[in-house]
Amino acid sequence: MHFVKTELRAAAIAAALTASLGLAAAPAEAKVDGDTIILGSAISLTGKYSTNGIHAQNGYELGVKMINDNGGVTVGGKSYKFKVVYYDDESTPARGAQLAERLINQDGVKYMLGPYSSGLTKAIAPVTEKYKIPMVEAEGASRSLFTQGYRYLFAVLSTSEQYLASSIALAAEIAEQNGKKASDVKVAMAFENDPFSLDVRAGVVEDAAKYDMKIVIDDKLPRDLSDMTSTLTKVKALKPDLLVVSGHSKGAATAGRQISELKISTPMIAMTHCEAAKVVEKYGADAMEGLLCPTQWAETLSYKDDLFGTAAEYDALFKKTFEGYKTVPYQSAQATAAVMVWKDAFERANSFDTEALRDAIADTNMTTFYGGIKFSPEGNNIAKPMVLRQIQDGEYKVVAPVKWASSKARHPRQPKY
């Protein structure tokens, strides 16, 4: 009797585990309910990535709303509306992968939007790949995502090695304008020791080698960095011409504070995530004057499309739709662009078949308010460059590439500490 009870209990636990892991039998047909096409996304609504996760969700929602309000998606002569099913991945890769399984197996979702961050995308991509479900993602920039041979993963954003590479080109250009050789430029690098920042570093190293620049500091900052005094002391000692820093929002917050406190006088400083870390608001416009900050998108760029109009019009609409935004994060803009890719693919494929859709996404060649979108065979967007902005009098002005620049780069930077 005891044995039977134990066996029954074990069977019940196994069944519960199987169901919770999403391994139970699932509907196999494509997820189109009546006139609604269901997209799925596991995204960080809580946990350490929740701020950017919510920015991305808002971007998806604005894309869906505008598409639905403007005639929806036409497939086979019939108009469909988009709807996104979200699950909160709690900023945890394992949970993200589990929820992707659930979306695909239990909820029958066949069309995926990406999560926030490269780490979460890395966790989910093997799942979507296993089930041959196309995923258009907007928040995973790590180059290593596109070296795995994935067929069903497509990213609308520029990959991470491009983030700071443009600062090297700008330093070379300025050196030549000043009668120096590009190879005279001394570069100091401080990058967080995580996949994203190391990809950013790879791009900088590659470009510095192209110009034969000398790298005088190559520090890798720990993930929980809150003090980079020793690195900045080295910067004071070696006087580089360019300092490049990458370490997400917390790295930018630490660097911004200590660059100001230690009165670092390097003539050119470029770092990622200035805006996300709110360096101007935190440390003042005077101290942050002249910092170069890469961005995937800016509202001052001259990109436009038929749905949203110009980048500036998207910016205004976003602020009107969602309260509390003084500036629109590029994370939201690229999330909206991912939804636009799905609409375009459905209409060109004229089908709900995932293979036909995958091929249609792979053939994407469109212009949006966010920039051009065209995927390489590896799945990353090759039609849109990164943009470099400079903090000038407290405002972020586009200074490179020159084609879209709204201001001229100020060099050397002249902060008031």
Query: Which residues of this chain interact with other proteins, rule CB under 8 A?
Result: 46-51, 91, 190, 193, 218-222, 224-231, 233-234, 236-238, 249-250, 253-254, 257, 261-263, 277-278, 282-283, 417
Does residue 291 come out as left (phi exceeding 0), alpha (psi in the -120 to 50 range) or beta? beta
Name the one residue in this structure whose structure tokens are 């249609």. Answer: 360
CB-based contact 373:341 (threshold 8 Å): yes
CB of 194 to other proteins, least distance (A): 11
Say how far apart CA 20 and CA 102 lie, in whole Å: 8
Dihedrals phi, psi of 271, to nearest 5 degrees: -150, 150
- Compare residues 261 and 353 and give the one whose CB is closer to other proteins: 261
Q: How far is the CB of 239 from other proteins (least distance, A)?
A: 11
Beta carbons within 8 Å of 47's beta carbon, 6+ residues apart: 53, 89, 90, 91, 92
The nearer residue to other proteins, 33 or 218, going by C-beta atoms, is 218
Pairwise CA distance, residues 405 & 401, whole Å: 6
**Least Å distance between CB 258 and other proteins?**
8
Residue 7 burial by Cβ neighbours in a 10 Å radius (0-12, 13-18, 19+): exposed
**Residue with smaller CB distance to other proteins, 54 or 168:** 54
Nearer to other proteins, 88 or 344 (CB): 88
**Under 8 Å between Cβ of 140 and 158:** no
Orientation of helix 248-261 relative to helix 229-238, angle to 10° = 50
The residue (of 102 and 248) whose beta carbon lies closer to other proteins is 248
Report d(CA 195, CA 147) in Å as an integer. Answer: 13
**How far apart are CB 323 and other proteins at their closest, in Å?**
16
Decide whether 156 or 189 has the Cβ nearer to other proteins: 189
User: Closer to other proteins at the Cβ: 181 or 263?
Assistant: 263
Q: How far is the CB of 260 from other proteins (least distance, A)?
A: 9
From the CB of 276, what's the least distance to other proteins, in Å?
8
Q: CB 268 → other proteins: shortest distance, Å?
A: 20
> Three-state DSSP class for 166?
helix
| SS3 state of residue 215 | strand
Integer Cα distance of 387 and 302 in angstroms = 12
